């Protein structure tokens, strides 16, 4: 039986909050300069919906803009995020790397994210996640923008029939439940109480993932 661990990226492995504000501010300044926006940048509103597919992000933040302008906004935002990553302004959460290293000795590890491919690749390259992560999957891999379907896609591709989804939002929990996997929810920056109560396990420290998985399997980590 192939057991795997599938991780979310934003708010789970990567401290997106460190680069979110400057990238979003730069994007809305771009909109202001082009006459498409006035007023403050809706940073707090974005924090509340962090983790949803990007088309939903821009429909929520900019409901009065055309689809074309929203698409341009997202393209600019992605470039600003990648620039922040490459400048070293982001960070992984504490103990992510040693935890991934330890888990990878016993289980295949994957990433399933609502982020776009270029953005995810920038994070993976900057922190050399390929040392332990076998593959990184963007929501772009499925037509539905549904993380449950993305996890299902990963499971089929790698013949996975048992394991865990580690994330911080409802989409991660649902992806685990919908695919008969175990949900481990990270109670970090973007986690919300009304969502995480539905998870099988909730952790406040990344290393605690090791204890949960150790308790579920005879193989000692």
Look up tokens 């790397």; give the residue: 97
pLDDT at 192 over 60: yes
Label the pairing between strands 182-186 and 201-203. parallel
Confidence of residue 205 (pLDDT cuts 50, 70, 90): very high
Amino acid 201: pLDDT: 96
Q: What is the pLDDT of residues 121-173, one digit of tens each?
A: 999 999 999 999 999 999 999 999 899 999 999 999 999 999 999 999 899 99
Domains of the chain: 3-15+91-216 (3.40.50.1000), 17-86 (1.10.150)
Amino acid 55: pLDDT: 85
Mean pLDDT of all residues in 94-113? 97
Q: Sheet with 3-7: list strands edge to edge.
A: 133-138, 109-113, 3-7, 162-167, 182-186, 201-203
- The DSSP bridge partners found for residue 109 are 5, 133
Is residue 51 left, alpha or beta, with left meaning phi > 0 and alpha meaning psi from -120 to 50?
left
With a threshold of 0.85, does the pTM exceed it?
A: yes
């Amino acid at each position: 039986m192939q057991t795997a661990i599938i991780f979310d990226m934003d708010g789970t492995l990567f401290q997106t909050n460190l680069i979110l504000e400057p990238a979003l501010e730069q994007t809305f300044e771009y909109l202001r300069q082009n006459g498409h926006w006035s007023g403050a940048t809706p940073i707090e509103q974005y924090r509340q919906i962090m983790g949803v597919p990007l088309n939903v992000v821009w429909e929520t933040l900019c409901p009065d803009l055309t689809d074309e302008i929203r698409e341009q906004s997202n393209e600019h935002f992605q470039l600003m995020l990648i620039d922040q990553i490459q400048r070293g302004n982001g960070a992984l959460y504490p103990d992510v790397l040693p935890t991934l290293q330890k888990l990878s000795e016993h289980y295949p590890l994957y990433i399933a994210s609502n982020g776009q491919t270029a953005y995810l690749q920038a994070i993976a390259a900057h922190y050399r996640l390929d040392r332990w992560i076998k593959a990184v999957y963007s929501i772009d891999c499925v037509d539905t923008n549904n993380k449950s379907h993305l996890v299902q896609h990963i499971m089929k591709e790698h013949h996975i029939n048992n394991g865990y989804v580690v994330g911080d939002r409802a989409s991660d929990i649902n992806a685990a439940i919908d695919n008969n996997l175990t949900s481990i929810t990270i109670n970090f920056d973007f986690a919300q109480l009304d969502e995480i109560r539905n998870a099988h396990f909730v952790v406040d420290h990344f290393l605690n993932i090791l204890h949960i998985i150790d308790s579920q399997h005879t193989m000692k980590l």
